[in-house]
């Protein structure tokens, strides 16, 4: 396959990209004229079955919540091992799951209720992965490497903001809510993590009509 073009969008950029990448790796016997291969095109439909992913996410949510319960009872080295396992599971999910809605199922399935209630209404489809690390910090204030967790939060915060700043990810009707969300993130960082310099995260406030 030498070239692909998206004919109909799934409505999700990550799924569209996955479909195009899949098609680029397909191999066909080319059409021929006088024994020579000639350029031709065909339409190929890619169907996604997210049921298995949904079940996997539910299982991961249950596992993490069990670990939280264990961590509340544990102390010392045992607690530290559980905390590290929680972080590992968070990072595994973030590296494997690219569908925004499924990521949010995981995020809002594991963070504390006060964090969920604060953010879910303004971001039920835009994944805010930094909340996993904000939740961890608020739960485990005595964790022995909080500076590392704050660095992770900053890294994923940048990833989230970069995604929100990509205008192509959103339809016109979504851009007002996106701008509101970015403003909320900006206020959240200023209050909770003033050491993070927003200018360093390249928030395109002008592009999103935020003053």
Indicate the pLDDT class of residue 193, thresholds 50, 70 and 90: very high
Tell which wins on pLDDT, 82 or 165: 82
What does pTM read for this prediction? 0.70
**pLDDT given for residue 97 in this prediction:** 86
Strand pairing partners for 33? 36
pLDDT digits (tens, 9 = 90+) for 81-107: 999 999 999 999 998 887 888 899 999
Of 113-117, 158-162, 207-211, which one has max mean pLDDT? Answer: 113-117
4/44 Cα distance (integer angstroms): 10
């Amino acid at each position: 396959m030498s070239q692909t073009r998206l004919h109909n969008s799934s409505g999700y950029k990550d799924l569209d990209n996955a479909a195009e990448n899949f098609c680029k790796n397909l191999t066909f016997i080319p059409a021929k004229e006088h024994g020579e291969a000639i350029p031709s095109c065909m339409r190929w439909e890619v169907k996604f079955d997210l049921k298995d992913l949904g079940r996997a996410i539910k299982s991961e949510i249950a596992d993490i919540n069990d670990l939280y319960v264990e961590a509340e009872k544990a102390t010392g080295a045992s607690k530290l091992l559980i905390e590290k396992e929680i972080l590992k599971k968070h990072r595994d999910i973030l590296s494997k799951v690219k569908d925004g809605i499924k990521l949010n199922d995981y995020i809002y399935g594991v963070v504390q209720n006060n964090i969920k209630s604060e953010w879910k209404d303004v971001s039920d489809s835009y994944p805010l992965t930094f909340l996993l690390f904000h939740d961890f910090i608020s739960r485990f204030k005595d964790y022995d490497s909080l500076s590392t967790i704050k660095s992770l939060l900053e890294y994923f915060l940048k990833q989230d903001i970069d995604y929100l700043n990509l205008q192509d990810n959103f339809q016109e009707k979504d851009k007002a809510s996106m701008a509101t969300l970015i403003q909320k993130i900006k206020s959240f960082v200023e209050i909770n993590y003033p050491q993070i310099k927003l200018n360093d995260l390249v928030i395109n406030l002008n592009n999103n009509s935020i003053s």
